[in-house]
A and B are shown apart, each in its own frame.
Chain A
Amino acid sequence: MPKPRQPESNNRPSYRFAAIVTQPGRREAMRVISELGLDRLPDREGKLHLLIAPDDARRLLEHGARVELLSVTPVAPLSPALILTDEAAGADLERRVKGVPRAGGA
């Protein structure tokens, strides 16, 4: 597994917020979100759910939006506990196809 490395881009935030835009009205809020090119998260209840950097939060406020911050996530690699090791990935494949004859009898 490759070693974690630091972000190279100067523009990458150090953390992000999950947020919901609550005001102004829906149509105007959608226009502002679209104008700012913000990353709208799917929300089957139709809420204006966003994943934004601190600077995006500032820009939203400057455009008259009201924003509810739900959670904060640092910009960091995926937890290594969630990543299969190469050994585990190989063993998983072996386990799944165990007993099926292979080409060349391997």
Chain B
Amino acid sequence: MYRTSAQITSAIQILSLWFPNFFSQRQLPENSVQGQAIYALLLRAGGGGERRAVLIVGGTHARELMNPDAIVELAIDLFLSYVNGTDIVYGNRRWNADDIKLMLESLDIWMIPCSNPDGRDEVMNVDSLWRKNMRVNAGSTCLGVDLNRNSDIVWGVAQGQTSCSPCTDIYCGPGAFSEPETRNVKALLDSASVVSFVDVHSYSELVLYPWGHAPTQSSDPSQVFTTLPTGTCTASVPASYKEYMPAIDVQRFQSVSSQIVADIRAVRGRQYIPETGLALYPTTGTQSDYAYARHIADPKLYKTYGFTFETGPLADTTDDSFHPPDPTLIKLDAKAGMISLLEQSVCAIELIGLDLFGSGGLQAFRRIRDEVLASTAAGREWVALFERLQFRLLARVIASRQLTQQAKEILRTVGGLLKDQGQEITAQSARHAEAFVRELLAKTKDAARRRDLAKVLKEVKRVAGRRVEAVVAALMGRRSTERRVETDKKRGSKRSARPRPKGRK
């Protein structure tokens, strides 16, 4: 059974009214083309100001009925877990209450369960396979714009599954963000620090990430979508063109989507596939590509990792694929995928370090990750290891006053060392870090996590007396100047005294 758009709006309003400490509704700036108010729901627990945010959007394509219901039900499941201290269990996948609490106390979770209420009404009252919004197109008797082709990312380039003809189901509209429904999504991306975005669609059991308009490459930053013509209404992306994405972002999209797929599979064994949007079919103007592309088009904007889910399998009929008679199990898969994304959106360093350094002070940590470690495969592997471990261990750290203090002390030390990279890591600091990792190792049973922690421990044991630069260089698989000097010393003064060949530095 499916909720009407009015029932979804009503659920948002009632939850905000009944439980105002947890839910709040926000009427989005613009009404739908038929004049309906559209609402977002914000979930957060605990105090504090604005946090990193996750934005979950459903109902973009009207006929994909399951997802707006799944989003509303996820909101309630998260709330009940928080207030009752109960685990969330979907099939064979369980999230313990402490982990849910951590997500809710560290993220702003924005949901637009039904971004296209006119379309949903159309499906329920007129045409069960209606896809677009209900725009009356000037000069045409055909209705509607495809809201997942209307965003400002290579907009109006009619290749693959994008068209400039109003009579098609994939019509991109008369201009980028011509539709109030897409402008509403943009408005939320503009107003919150959205680290992860997901537009939940159906069907095919996929987790998609950028790019949709061209293959991805990480070697030529000059091939960037801002140089491509838009609004051409032809397939104007050259066949040889490949869109740039830094290797660290490729890795993050792949690792996050793989974990989402693993969490969905754990529910009841459904095997979703992670892939780029292009692997499904070529598109332009999609919401999830736009969400990620924003910070490239305008570096002042927050970087958002944008995903599209395609929930549910192909069924015997098209109707049953888009709106199966009983969507209960598919909604469990969808909700598991969304929680997985929330979990992977929490940042341990930000959570523990924010009150130590403020948001400005965390920049040094981000720089080491994004500009230094990200530049080699070995460095990126350490970033991936940290991202694998951080959420799994965070609840344990937060739950223990002693571990939290230890974590803060380590971050404080590292923060100081990053400011003055000439300083050596003291034996005492190294001992503290080693004790912290050993404590975590003692509390961890999962074999994969233990392997990761053992790898960390091995590195931590070697840091005493070294400078941060040398430690980072080692993590990147490079020999630092410091190590070269040490090696030279060991080899004796004769060699180091030898004159250098010309041209070598």
Contacts and interface: CB of A to CB of B under 8 A. Distances in A.
A93 B76 CA distance: 9
Given A82-B325, A100-B83, A18 B159 contact: no
B76 A97 contact: yes
A8 to B, nearest CB: 8
A18 B7 contact: no
B184 interface: no
Interface in B267-283: 273, 280-282
A102 B206 CA distance: 38
Interface in B1-20: 1-4, 6-7, 10-11, 14-15, 17-20
B125 A5 contact: yes
A84 B4 contact: yes
A52 to B, nearest CB: 10
Given A82-B1, A102-B18, A73 B319 contact: yes
B242 to A, nearest CB: 18
A66 interface: no
B124 A34 contact: no
Given A76-B127, A78-B124, A102-B18, A84 B206 contact: no
B428 to A, nearest CB: 49
Contacts of B3: 84, 89
A5 B21 CA distance: 41
B19 A103 contact: yes
Contacts, number: 153
A93 B14 contact: yes
Sorting the interface of chain A by its residue count into under 10, 10 to 19, 20 to 34 or 35 or more gives: 35 or more
A6 B127 CA distance: 9
A49 B317 CA distance: 12
Contact of A75 (B1, B10, B129, B163): B129
A73 B317 contact: yes
B141 A11 contact: yes
Nearest to A76: B128
B416 to A, nearest CB: 46
Interface string B112-155: 00000000010111111101000000000111000000000000
B318 A73 contact: yes
The 3 closest A-B CB pairs, nearest first, are A37-B163, A37-B168, A42-B204
27 contacts: A2-B124, A4-B126, A5-B125, A5-B126, A7-B126, A16-B318, A37-B167, A37-B169, A37-B171, A39-B161, A40-B161, A42-B204, A42-B280, A44-B314, A51-B318, A71-B316, A73-B129, A73-B318, A75-B126, A75-B128, A75-B129, A78-B323, A83-B4, A84-B2, A86-B4, A89-B4, A93-B14
Interface of B: 1-4, 6-7, 10-11, 14-15, 17-21, 65, 73, 76, 79-80, 83-84, 121, 123-129, 131, 141-143, 158-161, 163-165, 167-171, 203-206, 235, 273, 280-282, 310, 314, 316-319, 321, 323, 325
Given A2-B121, A2-B124, 4 more contacts: A37-B164, A73-B317, A82-B1, A83-B2
